[in-house]
Structure 1
Amino acid sequence: MPVCTPRLPGHWRWFSPANAPRADGTVELHVRAVPAGTVSHRLVHEVRPGELLWLGPPADTGLSLDPASTNNLLLVAGGTGLAPLRALVEHVAAAPDGRRVTLIVGARTFTDLYDSIALDKLQCAHDWLTIVPALSDDPCAEPAEQGDALTIALEHHQPGQDIYLCGPPAMLADARPRLCALGIPAARIHLPEGLTC
């Protein structure tokens, strides 16, 4: 959904909610301040609790679960691409249907991982959920955690899984060709809209 702060009227930035719908109507957004990001910088460094934000109409990103499917899921997140994938985990948790979910969370180093408290709570609460960090530039990481998110994800891939990916443009551009080259059907690969095979 597009988000705007009255501190910068007319400047909108797209964010994916990091949660499934909640009874209290709250929405959690993951925002990373980037040097050239005018909206994200203000949201991180200036906006305070209780301050008004404007939310625009939501749009389908192509990362929604197929309600008719109970296929196991392989979720691959890079950076704040974790937000919509965590929402998918919460969606499955709200109505467990026997599927297993593996969430690969990519970051450069261990200290770059974020949202670990919420992820730990989810993993402890659900035996069907496995969360695996993928650390691309951390020499202290365990060998099974060393590598980029997509490479680590492929080590956890099992036939029949639906694969959802969200993260930096370079990761997404590389994903579909690599997955298709391994014989994974295009119908099982879900990327944010705008990227095609």
Structure 2
Amino acid sequence: MDREETILDYFQGRLTPERRAVFEEEMAQDASLAAEVALLRSVREDMAQAPRHEKADQVWDRVSAEIDATPRAANDNRPLWKAALKYAAVVVLSVATWHVVVGPRLGPDPEGFRTASEDPAAFSVQVQFVQTASYGDIAALLASLGARITDGPSALGLVRLSFADADARQEALGVLEATGDLVAFVAE
């Protein structure tokens, strides 16, 4: 509960006796809180002493009568299934448009990259690319090695590269260790 709500509850008597005692102790310790409560108390007292408009009840009765006299809209008795059918048609058309217009333009996944949920192949290595390596350079390197990223990057920037067989993995290890301008770290 924030400070303003607690002060309001204090004035309206909605605090439990325990919470009220704690709040009064806080006021004794915090001069700014005590000053804020004192200011609000004086405003409440001033408002209670202010003269009341002599026709206040009549004004409310007039406003209430006008509200009650306002005609209410009649029930249009349209079946709900028609509205639901319209919304369903909009959803179906939106999904169909997406699949026909947008989906084909997205194209297949770039070579060398797979989703994080894909199981890594049995033949893999961990690699950390240098900070300055571009996406194009990494994709070209992966394509030349026949490697796919199947996990990562981790918090340390490590990615797991998977290969089709043990020979491809062994050949790639040599190339990765020799490519210092793109690869910062290689681990089996």
TM category (shorter chain) comes to under 0.3
- Name the larger-Rg structure: 2
TM-score, normalization: structure 2?
Answer: 0.19
Higher helix content, 1 or 2: 2
Larger fraction in strand: 1
